[in-house]
Amino acid sequence: MTMRSVMKDFKGFTLVEVAIVLVIVGLLLGGLMATLRQTTENAKRSETNALLAEAKEALIGFSMANGRLPCPADPTIATGAANAGSERVGCTLAADRAGALPWVTLGIAETDAWGRRFSYSVTPSFADDSSTTATFIPPATCIPAPNPTQSSFALCSDGDITIRNVEGGATSIAAGIPAVIISHGRNGFNAYLSTGTQIIDPSSGADENSNAINDAGTPAELVSTTPRDPDPSAVPPRTEYDDLVIWISPNILKSKMITAGKLP
């Protein structure tokens, strides 16, 4: 269609009428783009949830085979470099208990649907030095009889990870968790890229910052809540939250270990 034919089609219309038509077309296109963006976002969340479920199964399978959960991978190592995606040799220290999900060790995908690495935190007593066989070291709060010989944890062992619905909140969604996996969502705040660099944004709020690898102390407290958009006009101002968090139930893990003959 040439410009001349377009002008011929508009002959008889006033400039105001043409402007109104253009505004309506613009609104329709804007609505279509918003719908398309939301559809794409929903698809990525669904894909990431499927990847998280796969990672959870892989962790349980690893534990059934090895008598322990794996240590995290070093998140700062770029893809393709030595030890990228492989579990650390040990994770008994607070500084080593959180990192990237060890995708090479587990044989699963490295990143979520947004192309960022999954974060992973594990209770140290549920993971052993990867250079040795699984060894149970009795903590003061857990004295099993007899001690397990093929597992680094016992039926009485408790995880030290707590999941809350808000940073510092009094209500726990889950407690005594052995391990947790996190996708940092569409905004990617606090996630690590395949280059080994972390996405840091000063606008990220306390809830998302609770799920940062460098905030996983002992015991670790993380947040899982409904996705929300930022609202600076709210009182207090509301920050964005779009993380996806999945964790391993200690009861399911122990049941699987019994089935595998690793416990009691």
Q: What residues does each domain of the chain span?
A: 3-259
pLDDT greater than 50 at residue 65: yes
pLDDT higher than threshold 80 for residue 61:
yes
Residue (of 67, 76, 69, 74) closest to 55 by Cα position: 69
So what's the pLDDT on residue 95?
78
Average pLDDT, integer, range 207-227: 79
Three-class SS state of 43: helix
pLDDT of residue 259: 94
**Judging by DSSP bridges, how do beta strands 119-122 and 179-183 pair with one another?**
antiparallel
Distance from C-alpha of 264 to C-alpha of 12, rounded to nearest angstrom: 87
| Contact yes or no for 98/161 (Cβ under 8 A) | no
Q: Which residues, including other chains, have CB under 8 Å from residue 3's CB and lie 6 or more apart? A: none
**Structure tokens that stand for 2 in this block:** 């040439």
Longest dimension (CA), the chain: 94
**Of 115-119, 139-143, 195-199, 252-256, minimum mean pLDDT range:** 139-143
Sheet containing strand 172-177, edge to edge, reads 172-177, 161-164, 221-223
Rounded mean pLDDT of the chain? 86
Give the predicted TM-score (pTM) of the model: 0.81
What DSSP character marks residue 247?
E
Q: Are strands 161-164 and 221-223 parallel, antiparallel or unpaired?
A: parallel
Nearest one of 203, 214, 193, 202 to 239, comparing CA atoms:
203
For tokens 């479920």, the residue is 53
Task: Name every residue whose Cβ is closer than 8 Å to that of residue 209 and which is 6 or more positions away in sequence.
Answer: 167, 189, 190, 215
Question: Which tens digit of pLDDT belongs to each residue from 4-47?
Answer: 555 555 555 677 777 787 778 777 777 776 677 767 788 899 99
Q: What gap in Å lies between CA 195 and CA 80, rounded to an integer?
A: 9
What band does 218 get if pLDDT is binned at 50, 70 and 90?
very low
Sign for the CA dihedral angle at 213, 214, 217, 221 comes to negative
Q: Is the pLDDT of residue 216 over 60?
A: no
Contact 264, 148 (CB under 8 A): yes
Q: How far is CA 39 from the centre of its chain?
A: 21
Q: CA-CA distance, 150 to 174, in Å (whole number)?
A: 27
Q: Which of helix, strand or coil describes residue 189? A: coil
Q: What is the per-residue burial (b if ≥16 Cβ within 10 Å, else e) of 150-181? A: bbbbbbebbbbbbbbeebeeeeebbebbbbbb
Supply 105's token pair.
């060790």
User: How many whole angstroms separate alpha carbon 72 and alpha carbon 74?
Assistant: 7
